[in-house]
Amino acid sequence: MARQFLWIIVPYLSLVLFVAGHIWRYQRDQFGWTSKSSELLEKRQLRLGSLLFHWGILFVFVGHVMGILIPESFYTALGITEEMYHVIALAGGIPAGLAALVGLVILFRRRLTVKRVRATSSTGDWVALGFLAIVIASGLSSTFLNVDSHGFDYRTTIGPWFRGLLTFRPNPAYMETVPLWFQIHILAAFGLFASWPFTRLVHVFSFPIRYLQRSYVVYRKRMPKQAEPFKRAQ
């Protein structure tokens, strides 16, 4: 029963909240659909932290698609052996995960120590940062603790279980031998997905394509009152 709860009910609950939450947020709060940039409040730490975090996460995402969504049989058909896959996964995954972690630590520290950024932080900002920290730290721990390629194989356990969820044929039996660090990582990721639509993370789904064709926004100083050129005579 605990198995069903953790590896079927929790994931689906989280994914339903993820989808329904985004629809709800879009209906209710389109003007709040933003990354809430705090660049004006502090720039130096943001630039470094954000750069490391976003590039790191991008490569981590590609790694997850390669390791979890694409089945092992695909690589075997291409002639990529277990060992070759493992070396590629570690060589790409560890630097990407470390970059994301260092970036997140800089952003966390900035939000805590820069007074103006802290004062403008919402509960959602802390929740998003907290979940990201747990997910990334536990992901890296899982990778490091599993460096020995003869240990646990997530491509024959977590991979088919996750693909089963997406195709509505979930089989929690695949999760039976999964080590604790991986379990913490995956459950924290579902916590992140459930809270996602209620935080600034919604900005991931805003593609600023219209920026390319819309007219400019012109920022200029306000004229002093008496010199306002278009003021009507009364």
Q: Site residues for ligand HEM, window 21-50 (CB under 6 A)?
A: none
For the chain, the 3-state helix, strand and coil shares in percent, each to the nearest 5, are: 70, 0, 30
Structure tokens at 204: 């991931």
How deeply is 196 buried, as exposed, middle or buried, from its count of CB atoms within 10 A (0-12, 13-18, 19+)? buried
- For ligand HEM, the binding residues in 179-198 under the rule CB under 6 A are 182, 185-186, 189, 192
- Options 21, 49, 103, 139; binder of ligand HEM; rule CB under 6 A: 139
Q: Can residue 107 be called a binding residue for ligand HEM (CB under 6 A)?
A: no
Q: Nearest to residue 123, comparing CAs of 41, 199, 40? A: 199
Among 52, 106, 136, 175, binds ligand HEM (CB under 6 A): 136
Q: C-beta of 213: minimal distance to ligand HEM in Å?
A: 32
Closest of 133, 181, 118, 132 to residue 154, by C-alpha: 181
Residue 154 or 174: which CB sits closer to ligand HEM? 154
* Residue closer to ligand HEM (CB basis): 51 or 223: 51
Q: Is 175 in the site for ligand HEM (CB under 6 A)?
A: no
Q: Which is nearer to ligand HEM, 68 or 70 (CB)?
A: 68
Instruction: Answer whether 171's CB lies under 8 Å from 164's CB.
Output: yes
In angstroms, rounded to a whole number, what is the distance separating the alpha carbons of residues 87 and 83?
A: 6
171 near 161, Cβ under 8 Å?
yes
Residues in contact with ligand HEM by CB under 6 A are 60, 63-64, 67-68, 89, 93, 96-97, 100, 132, 135-136, 139-140, 142-143, 146, 154, 158, 162, 182, 185-186, 189, 192
